[in-house]
Structure 1
């Protein structure tokens, strides 16, 4: 897990792809220089003159190209700062991750790094012979044109990314991928229920605590590795945290029933828990939904007053909950190949996902009837495409939302709309209307 943690930090860091592009640029410069030194002198007569340039002309060209690439890079960084400021003030600080991790953003800066290093190293390696024929200036012009193309792509990408509808759509798609990955078929045994006798047998050994080595958010757990670790030691583990919860250094993260006496060996299972300074969407469905919730809450604040954006977020949250309901399983037991219980890890219930998705909107949007109608409509759609278990949770939560609105204070037209959405929700959950005025 430490290797995975290092890889995640390197992969998601802002300098990773620009560094890769810079290294490729050095390699390309080396190859082009060898061509200029060893190949071009031999085939100069066969190469079209338009592809070759003398040293003095190349030096002038390189000076102009370096300036232009630096200018495009400066404008790109300025654009990035504008986008980040907009995200932080108007949307949510958590959404900064989405733009910073965008491959388009990182590839564009990588191409600029490639172009700048390619030009400046070619300039440094240029010989003093003024009449020497070179093909590297022609290739440098091509690199500069590619940089210009990526600059245009980046401006288009930034202008689209800063539009709230596109941001909401991207968060919804990325969250959908997390849901599919979380509930896809695994290469180990998992179940919602387990034989009580087998659980009791697994807990016959002495109970020991395994403590956290560092503080931070639980970002990911390698369940298959934990199951394998416990199987090799004939142990049973029980996790004392949820994905996304904050873990304090020294707190017991696992309870372990085994005959292992060496505490260091017990602590070795911490290698399969990834803890970081911030929550991520590696395995954290709740955090991904939280981004949409924060955008919606900020949109209905008096400073912004944009209920349509809030309703758009609510629609996407409802879509994610509907998708989650179709695949959700309260999996808490994990066994090895011999069907022996090795790990107990309590999952978030579907009811908890509902609550975390809408309770803040209930608090801050209860006076905005359009927001409340949007929540009821989203709940109606979640119930419509799912089974009885999900319908029960949705109806229970729907009553919680309905009670937030004082229907006696509503105008007749507002009440009619609110009653319409409440009755539709009740019908989809096979319940009677809860409204009485």
Structure 2
């Protein structure tokens, strides 16, 4: 149930952020109705000095309605400009990231809410005696001050986020949190021994979309009485078509219990329904989304139109650090949920797959740039130093693969000599325990 609620919220997040301040406006209008129309005494809360006359309130609210509408239009134009800048300078992937920030669409919602409050308050005040002092105008003033503070915070945030170094650091920080959680869960996970598996049953997708999440509550309830492990072979963020192989239900006995075996297809379909597929990716759990964003920013930076290798080098360094932390654990799977008899196991990418997915485009497009090629090899060296011993062989093989491609594409002997130096250092010092310990501690 929780996973489905999160899925619904993710799909409607933008409209919720935009319209939630309409509800605040409705609450304020209800307060105005009770205090100004029904003449409730508010001097206990607000001094009489802060209450405005009906004429002053009408004039103020009329002005605020126009201001809120104008600023909402200006804010929307600013957001579109920032989105265009992000898309052209970095990658279209960061556009949605910018929109999802709470201060962005919420600001438009603040001004829209203020517009509705101002206009509807005028309807409430139209028949009130002109000699009365009311609360509607005072609330409008407070709302306008709050809206202006929100606008200043928005401007400050936009100025900060438009700088590439800040954007890259924010993406890195978010990816680091997800990868630390992933590595910690991997370290704590233990599986059943393979020889205990009696029968393996394949599960297939019932729908099409991006693998968003798993409804663990229902899934555990379905398999709680089975002695089994459910091994999920698809990764969160992957696009899955209907009928595609999803997971294996590994039983310790020879077959399902008799009561389940009679309706085997229906039972397996119910399990498959617990895999939530969506039209958009789950960026809150998929560290690959952040890694891919860093890769795309690096690729855009080394493109001929921008030609900014230093930004690419910065991204490569951060990607390498993240992968090193990910490979610091021996396990490549997570035991997500368990009962006394059943386990749900989420398998992740192998070391070879992670390295290839993260670096193959960078190697292809940066192989002729000496600084980018050196940064890639330096990053792989760092990954080797941080990684667990079980991952070192794969990292070494990928280092040799990247070195061979880069070395063959260097145009001058000096560039080749520069690459040769880091390879020699890698061969001679890669297993230096003092260096490895120092890097891991940092």
Question: How high is the TM-score relative to the length of structure 1?
Answer: 0.86
Asked if structure 2 preserves the Cα contact closer than 8 Å seen for 1:334 and 1:341, the reply is: no
- Deviation track 1:206-237 (CA, whole Å, cap 9, x = no partner) reads x6543322111112235575445322345553
Give me the whole-angstrom Cα distance separating, in 1, the residues matched to 2:267 and 2:342: 20
Secondary structure at 1:253 match in 2: strand
Residue 113 of structure 1: aligned partner: 112
What residue number does 1:435 align with? Answer: none
Counterpart pick for 2:230 among 228, 237, 259: 237
**Alpha-carbon displacement from aligned partner over 1:174-204 (angstroms, at most 9, x marks no partner):** 1112223334459xx832x5323212x3x1x
Q: Secondary structure at the match of 1:15?
A: helix
Contact 1:62 1:123 in 2 (8 A): yes
For 2:42 and 2:301, locate their aligned partners in 1 and report how far apart those are by CA, in whole Å: 67
TM-score, structure 2 as length reference: 0.85
Q: Which residue of 1 aligns with 2:293?
A: 291
SS in 2 for 1:219: strand
- TM-fit CA distance, 1:300: 0.9
- CA offsets, 1:257-312, max 9 Å, x none? 52423222321113321211233323322222111111111111112211111111
Query: Is there any run of 5+ residues in structure 2 with no aligned partner, and where?
Result: 433-442
Whole-angstrom distance in 2 between the partners of 1:222 and 1:422? 47
After superposition, where does 1:333-352 map in structure 2 within 5 Å? Answer: 336-338=338-340, 340=341, 342-343=343-344, 345-352=346-353
Matches of 1:270 and 1:178 in 2, distance apart?
26
Task: State the 1:120 CA deviation.
Answer: 2.1
Q: Deviations over 1:73-131 (max 9, x none)?
A: 11111111112222223322222221111122133233223322322222221132222
Report the alpha carbon displacement of residue 43 of structure 1 after superposing the two structures with TM: 4.8
For the 8 Å contact 1:183–1:328, the answer to whether it is kept is no
Considering only aligned residues, what root-mean-square deviation do their CA atoms show, in Å? 2.9
Distance 1:334 1:149, change over 3 A: closer
Distance 1:333 1:152, change over 3 A: closer
Q: Does 1:315 align with 2:317?
A: yes
Q: Determine which of 185, 204, 217 is the counterpart of 1:211.
A: 204
Matches within 5 A, 1:201-280: 201=198, 203=199, 208-222=201-215, 226-234=219-227, 236-256=229-249, 258-259=256-257, 260=260, 261-262=262-263, 263-280=265-282
Distance 1:325 1:39, change over 3 A: farther
The 8 Å contact of residues 242 and 346 in structure 1, kept in 2 or not, is answered as yes
Q: What is the CA–CA distance in structure 2 between the aligned matches of 1:318 and 1:253, rounded to whole Å?
A: 30
Q: 1:249 to 1:422 in 2, by over 3 A?
A: same
- The SS at the match of 2:406 is coil
Give the deviation of 1:343 after TM superposition.
Answer: 4.2
Q: How many residues were matched structurally?
A: 420
Contact 1:220–1:282 under 8 Å retained in 2: no
The residue that corresponds to 1:368 in the other structure is 369
Distance of aligned partners of 1:272 and 1:343 in 2 relative to their CA distance in 1, 3 Å threshold? same
Question: What is the CA–CA distance in structure 1 between the aligned matches of 2:409 and 2:112, rounded to whole Å?
Answer: 63
CA apart distance, 1:426: 3.1
Would the aligned equivalents of 1:395 and 1:426 in 2 still touch at CA under 8 Å? no
Q: State the alpha-carbon separation in 1 of the partners of residues 238 and 171 from structure 2.
A: 21
| In structure 2, distance between residues paired with 1:365 and 1:270 | 42
Secondary structure of 1:326 counterpart = coil
- Distance (whole Å) between structure 2 residues aligned to residue 398 and residue 157 of structure 1: 39
Alpha-carbon shift at residue 400 of structure 1 (Å): 1.2
CA distance in 2, matches of 1:42, 1:94: 50
The 1:326/1:196 distance shift into structure 2, 3 A limit, reads: closer
Shift of residue 408 of structure 1?
8.1
Alpha-carbon distance change, 228 to 182 in structure 1, aligned in 2, over 3 angstroms = farther
SS at match of 1:10: helix
Name whichever of 161-170 and 3-12 sits farther off.
Answer: 3-12
CA distance in 2, matches of 1:334, 1:4: 14
Q: 1:52 maps to which residue? A: 51
Decide which moves more: 32-41 or 63-72. Answer: 32-41
Q: Which range moves more in the overlay, 91-100 or 227-236?
A: 227-236
**Hey, what's the Cα distance between the residues in 1 that align with 2:164 and 2:383?**
24
Residue of structure 2 in register with 1:163 after alignment = 163
Query: Judging changes above 3 Å, is the alpha-carbon distance between structure 1 residues 430 and 235 closer, same or farther for their aligned structure 2 residues?
Result: closer
Structure 2 counterparts to residues 415-426 of structure 1, below 5 A: 415-426=416-427
Q: 2 CA distance for matches of 1:195 and 1:220?
A: 26
